[in-house]
Amino acid sequence: MELFIIRHGQSVGNTVKEDMPDCVLTELGHSQAETVAKCMEGAGLTHIVSSPLIRAIETARPLARQTGLPIRVWIDAYEVRSKGPCRGQTRNALESLHDSVLLEDEVEEDGWFYAGDETPEMGHIRALRVLGRLRREFPGDERVALFAHGGFNTCLLRAIIGLDFNSDVHFSGVNGSIYWIKFGEQRTVVEYAGAPRPLFS
């Protein structure tokens, strides 16, 4: 598997001090999403996976349109949240965000449960769970784009390279950042990590 972990574009929540756990992209964020799609031209993607949070799905849309791939929503890819619990979007609301959203996990009638009160260790355990699912579902030569979030991406990247949750290793995480990971039988290679740029031209 080759995995492209992508941080969402700028959201309204990135621009204000208020707690906005599930908000839309700004105009700049939509532009960043288009940039990500252009940078991924020629990637030969086979799957697109996204967090259930609106800003991640909105960032995935241009790439989904470009490739014709559905956006597969995995609930466990949501952002690490240290504040209290809340409710995410309902199934109908999520499916209205794009014409090919595929909800592969259970969503309750009043929306999926965004647990909150998550410690770094809890975020790491969840990232390990997502990594295990990625390895199970894409065991071969699949090329997968995963749209998620700064905090969760850090947890997932640490899990991939074998670091613990309390590691002091961090990763550049501007909006639209791309992390390209190649999983092989003998080793895992970090091919690229950083701001979006054309990777296949």
| Structural domain span for residue 173 | 10-19+33-116+136-194
CATH at residue 160: 3.40.50.1240
Whether 68 is in a domain gets the answer yes
Q: What is the mean pLDDT of the chain?
A: 96
Is residue 39 left, alpha or beta, with left meaning phi > 0 and alpha meaning psi from -120 to 50? alpha
Element (H, E) at 34: helix 27-39
Predicted confidence (pLDDT) per residue in 54-66, tens digit: 999 999 999 999 9
Domain-located, residue 154: yes
Opening angle at CA 68, ends 34 and 190, nearest 5: 65
pLDDT digits (tens, 9 = 90+) for 134-159: 999 999 999 999 999 999 999 999 99
Query: Is 90 exceeded by the pLDDT of residue 177?
Result: yes
The answer to whether 69 touches 50, Cβ cutoff 8 Å, is no
Is 101 within the bounds of a domain?
yes
| 151 within some domain | yes
**156: which 2 tokens?**
């997932």
Does residue 39 fall inside a structural domain? yes
* pTM of the predicted protein model: 0.97
Give percent of the chain above pLDDT 90: 95
Expressed in angstroms, the distance from the first to the final Cα of the chain is 21
Kindly tell me the number of DSSP H helices and DSSP E strands found in the chain. 5, 9
pLDDT in tens, 68-86: 999 999 999 999 999 999 9
- pLDDT at res. 171: 92
Asked whether residue 28 is domain-assigned, the answer is no
Tally of structural domains, the chain: 1
For residue 3, being part of any structural domain is answered with no
As a whole number of angstroms, the distance between CA 160 and CA 3 comes to 11
Q: Where on the phi/psi map is residue 194: left (φ > 0), alpha (ψ -120 to 50), or beta? A: left
Q: Is residue 128 part of a domain?
A: no
CB 178 within 8 A of CB 196: yes
